[in-house]
Amino acid sequence: MQQYKIAIVGSRETILGFKALGVEPVYANEPKEALESMFALKGERIESGGESRNKYAIVFVMEDLMTYITPDDYKKLTSDPLPAFIPLPSHLGSTGYGLKKLKGIVERAVGMDILN
């Protein structure tokens, strides 16, 4: 089984706690900054067993930084099997972005929203 790393993107005060868990923190305060670091994280690769592969398998991103991502950028980010970009609600509470994302997925798959 191949070993990967986990990263988290968010504002300093929120993700500090995750740093203690051994998750690699990437500080970003602005959505634009966050987007740049997400692309950078996606691009990071390591060599293992003679082949190069993604370093990160999961990138958690604070929801408030993800709300302004354009569908185009989102498609580019999620085009590969790994890493998975997962929005997390910040300390400010859920913005509903995560559920909206799920709805989008359902709409793509089924053609209409059948959740609820």
Partner 1 sequence: MELQLEIMAIMNVNATRMALLTLKKKIKSAERGHKLLKDKQDGLMQKFMGVIHEAKTAREEVEEKLGASFKNFIRASSLMESGFLESALLYSTAETNLGVETKNVMSVRIPTFDLKVEGEVVNYSMVQTSGELDISLQSFLDVFPLLIKLAEIEKSAEALAEELEKTRRRVNALEYRMIPDLKDTIKFIQMKLDEMERGAIINTMVVKAKIEAAA
Which one of 26-34, 35-43, 64-72, 74-82 is the stretch in contact with partner 1 (CB under 8 A)? 74-82
CA distance 105 to 35: 21
Q: How buried is residue 71: exposed, middle or buried, by Cβ count under 10 Å (0-12/13-18/19+)?
A: exposed
Minimum CB–partner distance for residue 53 and partner 1 (Å): 10
Q: Determine, following the binding rule CB under 8 A, whether residue 88 of this chain makes contact with partner 1.
A: yes
Residue identified by tokens 């500090």 is 16
Q: How many residues does the chain have?
A: 116
Residues making contact with partner 1 (CB under 8 A)? 1-6, 13-14, 16-23, 57-58, 60, 78, 81-82, 84, 86, 88-91, 93-94, 98-99, 101-102, 105-106, 108-111, 115
